[in-house]
Amino acid sequence: MRRSSILEPHDDYDYTHPENLSAVVVAVVPYIAGFVVRQVCKTTTCEECIAALYSDELVPLVEQKNRGGLVSPSKDVIGLCEAVEKGLRRLQIECGTLQAVNSQSKHLVLEVLRLSVEENGFRS
């Protein structure tokens, strides 16, 4: 059995329009964002910064899967994670190989951070 390539087309999203995230991706990104928040909080001591990462509102997938240990990320963190997801999808289309995507990931991070500052991210 041949193993599927990570860059081969699948039905999980529209490769011609990487800005369009499927309902599954939109549901999963906040779950992943919660993991990101947990990891960032391990290395941050700034209480105001930490508070800006969390939300009191549980997103549907986190609420469904939570047994008391999941983190509910702020809307700003979810927005950043969605921007990264879209950027990675654009890079997959442009680069064609995973190695090329990895070599461009630094530029993606800088672009997402720039957009975050321009859009006044982390208002909370």
**pLDDT tens digits for range 51-98:** 999 998 888 888 888 888 889 999 999 999 988 888 888 887 777 776
Is the Cα torsion angle 109, 80, 116, 54 positive or negative in sign? Answer: negative
In the chain, domain spans: 23-118
In this prediction the pTM is 0.74
Helix/strand/coil for 54: strand
Residues of the chain with pLDDT > 90: what percent? 29
Q: What is the pLDDT of residue 22?
A: 84
Which one is predicted more confidently, 113 or 123?
A: 113
**pLDDT value at position 32?**
94
Question: Cα–Cα distance between 116 and 124 in angstroms, integer?
Answer: 13
